[in-house]
Amino acid sequence: MVKNIIDVERLSKSFDISSREPGLKGTIKHFFRRKTKSLKVIKNISFKIKEGEIVGFLGANGAGKTTILKMLCGLIYPSEGTISVSGHLPFRRKDNFLKNITLIMGQKQQLIWDLPPIESFYLNASIYDLDKNEAKRRIRKLSDMLEIDNELYIPVRKLSLGQRMKSELLAALIHEPNILFLDEPTLGLDINAQRNLRKFLQKYNEETNATICLTSHYMKDITSLCKRVICVHNGSISYDGKLDLLLKKLTPVKEILLVCHSEKDVLQIENSGFTVKNKTKNEITIKVKNNSITSSLKTILNNFDIEDLYINEPPIDEIIGKILIKKDYDT
Amino acid sequence: MNLRRYLKVYKKFLHTSLASEFEYKANILIDFITAILSLIGSIFLLSIFFQNNSSIGGWDFEEALIIQGIYTILNGITNTWFNPNLTEIVKHIREGTLDFVLLKPIDSQFFISLKKITPSGFLEIILGFCLLLYCIKINQININLSFLILCFITIICSISILYSLWFFISTTTIWFVKTWNATEVLRSFLYIGRFPLNSFSLSLRIFFSVFIPLAFITSIPSEVFLGLSQLWKILLEVFVSIVFLYSSRKFWLFALKFYSSASS
């Protein structure tokens, strides 16, 4: 049985946030008498993640995804609850724990700006106490996987965003961590760079059985990498389970476009009890529940003379958009 | 703490920061020229003060030059290590890049205090030592082992006090987010350390001994140079530096519990 590598129980986090009124008066008032209020950004959440799983955290901006990742890494102290990552209490940040994890943030970088990435890799290698030959071997292996070569010797400031992100990944993975926390790793990358990065993460997970926790606003990242998603809404978990199931829940019906030979066929289909979305002279679109697709298609093909048919699913972005604003998926 | 590993990492720090600095040759050259001109300017200013007075606060010009020498060494150390690293803490905290430091299996204080160096500060350190050698000659100071040990101890203590003060102020960024001004005030106070402490009024002397211990930073090492220092003063400086180092360390560890990282 695969063991749980991350175990979170009744976790909460509150921050003191200061707010002020607009305008000069508000600024002066804020300077002399700062009003702060405690804001609970994570509310009593619990979940477990198994070794080797790739889990996507979904939620709108400010939902609390990054705060959860940062608590899992040990960067932020939880206000309540317990976290165990690889058997460690993350916020103690013990060396053995830190050697097992990595955090990659799409919007922040650790590479030395004026030097080629290779210098940052060797610096990280010395911090993780790797000898030179071992560091060289790992750099070669990861650069092959990431398909970067000449870029290793060009100053970071002269690299494209995609090349820089690949180098950031290499710097963050040189110690071969078995838990990866990725906070919007494909942010700002073009489509090809995004695809390459996803391909790399998939391969890394397959080869090393590393556990990956990922947040992203690019739905392709989630759909192509994560079988399981945790949806966060206002600091609470609104869904934790398989992505497929969630999509089914959010899209209980599919649309079938039927191309008929004549208007008569269209009218016959319309009168046979299907829910019609729209129709034209020789085309009709009907809505069919996911669990009755096969039987409905059988009925149509046996009873009507159909020229062609198309089964349409709503675009994934549209479905995920619903996730970001929806609070509960069980009802 | 594994010393061998930390030395290896420090060697890498030196290598990467020197390589980064050498990317901009003109900048280094300008920094070198600034360091030389700044020392000439300081000695000129000191000579103006002594133009009509043979001594200020009991120190004559040749003796006051020792303070200038020690100040130049400390300023060199400030520019080489403290300025590029400790001012960066504010940036790390504001932009949330401290996350990367805290997630490395290495002491975070070591990392943020020593990651960068500015090579032009080396020239100031060398110039400061040259000035001290000149002062040893003109003040006819006898060099022996105990003299060298005492000088070494007091200068190390001065560096520790200065570092701790600076680090302490930078750490407060975790709560206040922006504290550039406070470190600038500290640097301004350090300028005062170029002059003998006795040349200030009693109230200022108390202030610079108790609140901002400039007395310990430049005056005590200078007194050691001239053979004027009493043992209790040296022991007090050692004690103060240990207390400051220990407190700054504890304060950093305490402050990290309040680090909330920057939003993404």
| B170 located within any domain | yes
d(CA A69, CA B96): 14
First to last CA, chain A: 32
| A133 located within any domain | yes
Tokens describing residue B39: 């020392």
Q: Answer yes or no: do A202 and A90 share one domain.
A: yes
| A320 located within any domain | no
Please report, as a single letter, which amino acid is at residue A52: G
Q: Average pLDDT, stretch A68-78?
A: 92
Q: Answer yes or no: do A34 and A157 share one domain.
A: yes
Q: Answer yes or no: do A178 and A279 share one domain.
A: no
d(CA B243, CA A132): 39
> Would you state the pLDDT for residue B179?
61
Contacts of B2 in chain A (CB under 8 A): 129
Tokens describing residue A264: 């008569």
Tokens describing residue A105: 């943030």
d(CA B136, CA B116): 33
Q: In which domain, by residue range, is B245 found?
A: 3-256
Q: Answer yes or no: do A215 and A278 share one domain.
A: no
Is the alpha carbon torsion for B145, B147, B153, B155 positive or negative? negative
Summarised one tens digit per residue, pLDDT across range B18-75 is: 998 888 888 888 988 988 898 899 888 888 888 887 777 777 888 888 888 888 888 8
d(CA B164, CA B166): 5
Domain count, chain B: 1
Phi-psi region of A44 (alpha: psi -120 to 50; beta: other; left: phi over 0): left
The CATH number assigned to the domain holding A58 equals 3.40.50.300
B34 Cβ neighbours under 8 A, 6+ residues apart: B120
Q: In which domain, by residue range, is A256 found?
A: 252-312
Closest CA to A97 of A86, A113, A81, A109: A86
> Would you state the pLDDT for residue A188?
78
Interface test with A, best of B9, B104, B108, B257 (most A CBs within 10 A): B104
Q: Answer yes or no: do A30 and A77 share one domain.
A: yes
The distance of B188 to chain A (nearest Cα, Å) reads 26
Q: Which of A214, A248, A282 is where one domain is finished?
A: A248
Which range among A84-88, A136-140, B259-263 shows the weakest confidence by mean pLDDT? B259-263
Residue with tokens 């710097």: A171
The CATH number assigned to the domain holding A263 equals 3.30.70
DSSP B11-76: HHHHHHHHHHHTT-HHHHHHHHHHHHHHHHHHHHHHHHHTSS-SEETTEEHHHHHHHHHHHHHHHH
Asked if B4 reaches chain A (Cβ–Cβ under 8 Å), the answer is no
Please report, as a single letter, which amino acid is at residue A275: T
Q: Measured between alpha carbons, how far is residue A18 from residues A37, A39, A109, A314, B119 in Å? A: 6, 10, 28, 41, 41
> Would you state the pLDDT for residue B247?
95
Q: Which of A195, A224, A248 is where one domain is finished?
A: A248
Summarised one tens digit per residue, pLDDT across range A215-266 is: 988 888 888 899 999 999 889 998 999 988 888 777 778 888 899 888 888 8
| A323 located within any domain | no
H/E run at residue B245: helix B231-256
> Would you state the pLDDT for residue B55?
79
- What SS3 state is found at A101? strand
Tokens describing residue A32: 């002399």
Q: Measured between alpha carbons, how far is residue A23 from residues A18, A20, A27, B90 in Å? A: 16, 9, 6, 27
d(CA B82, CA B218): 17
Q: Answer yes or no: do A242 and A256 share one domain.
A: no
- What SS3 state is found at A103? strand
- What SS3 state is found at B207? helix
Tokens describing residue A316: 């994934």
DSSP letter assigned to residue A151? G
How many A/B residue pairs have CB atoms within 8 Å?
81
- What SS3 state is found at B18? helix
**How many H-runs (helices) and E-runs (strands) does chain B carry?**
14, 2
Q: Measured between alpha carbons, how far is residue B172 from residues A46, A77, A269, B165, B252 in Å? A: 34, 18, 74, 11, 9
- Buried/exposed B208-228: b ≥16 CB within 10 Å, e otherwise: bbeebbbbbbbbbbbbbbeee
* Cα angle B123, B125, B129; round to 5: 115
The ipTM assigned to this model is 0.80
Among B9, B20, B259, beta carbon nearest to A115: B20
> Would you state the pLDDT for residue A316?
67
Q: Answer yes or no: do A241 and A259 share one domain.
A: no
Task: Report the chain B residue with the minimal C-alpha distance to residue A64.
Answer: B263
Cβ contact (<8 Å) for A108 and B105? no
| B264 located within any domain | no
| B152 located within any domain | yes
Please report, as a single letter, which amino acid is at residue A269: I
Is the alpha carbon torsion for B201, B203, B208, B210 positive or negative? positive
What dihedral angle (degrees, nearest 10) is formed by the CA atoms of A110, A116, A122, A124? Answer: 0
| A223 located within any domain | yes
| B89 located within any domain | yes
Q: Answer yes or no: do A238 and A257 share one domain.
A: no
Q: What is the pTM of this model?
A: 0.81
Closest CA to A69 of A94, A97, A104: A104
H/E run at residue A214: strand A211-215
The total number of residues shown for chain B amounts to: 264
Among A15, A108, A127, beta carbon nearest to B9: A127
The distance of A197 to chain B (nearest Cα, Å) reads 20
Domain count, chain A: 2
Cβ(A297)–Cβ(A254) below 8 Å: no
pLDDT in tens, chain B (264 residues): 588 889 999 999 999 999 988 888 888 889 889 888 988 998 888 888 888 877 777 778 888 888 888 888 888 998 899 989 988 888 888 888 899 999 999 999 999 999 999 888 889 999 999 998 998 888 888 888 888 899 899 999 989 998 998 898 888 888 876 666 666 767 777 777 666 666 677 777 777 666 666 667 877 888 888 777 788 888 988 999 999 999 999 999 999 888 876 555
| A35 located within any domain | yes
Asked if A8 reaches chain B (Cβ–Cβ under 8 Å), the answer is no
d(CA B152, CA A317): 67
Residue with tokens 């200078």: B222
Cβ(A13)–Cβ(A72) below 8 Å: no
Q: Answer yes or no: do A149 and A268 share one domain.
A: no
| B48 located within any domain | yes
Is the per-residue pLDDT at A285 higher than 60? Answer: yes
Q: Which of A228, A248, A268 is where one domain is finished?
A: A248
- Report A:45-74 residues touching B (Cβ under 8 A): 66, 70, 73-74
> Would you state the pLDDT for residue A331?
39
Q: Answer yes or no: do A163 and A257 share one domain.
A: no
| A232 located within any domain | yes
Closest CA to B84 of B190, B170, B213, B178: B170
Cβ(A252)–Cβ(A220) below 8 Å: no
Tokens describing residue B241: 């530096």
Asked if A93 reaches chain B (Cβ–Cβ under 8 Å), the answer is yes
Summarised one tens digit per residue, pLDDT across range A163-216 is: 898 899 999 999 999 999 999 888 878 888 888 889 999 999 999 999 999 998
Contacts of A124 in chain B (CB under 8 A): 104
Query: For chain A, percent helix, then strand, then coil, each to nearest 5?
Result: 40, 30, 30
Q: Are strands A228-233 and A236-242 parallel, antiparallel or unpaired?
A: antiparallel
- The pLDDT confidence band at residue A11, using thresholds 50, 70 and 90, is very high
| B263 located within any domain | no
> Would you state the pLDDT for residue A328?
59
Closest CA to A126 of A135, A115, A136, A114: A135
Taking each helix axis from N to C terminus, what angle separates B83-95 and B180-192, rounded to the nearest 10 degrees?
170
d(CA B140, CA B117): 35
Tokens describing residue B191: 């300028």
The rounded mean pLDDT for chain A is: 87
Q: Answer yes or no: do A60 and A124 share one domain.
A: yes
Q: Answer yes or no: do A72 and A170 share one domain.
A: yes
d(CA B61, CA A297): 103
| A295 located within any domain | yes
Tokens describing residue B64: 């006051």
Summarised one tens digit per residue, pLDDT across range A38-62 is: 888 999 999 999 999 999 998 888 8
| B130 located within any domain | yes
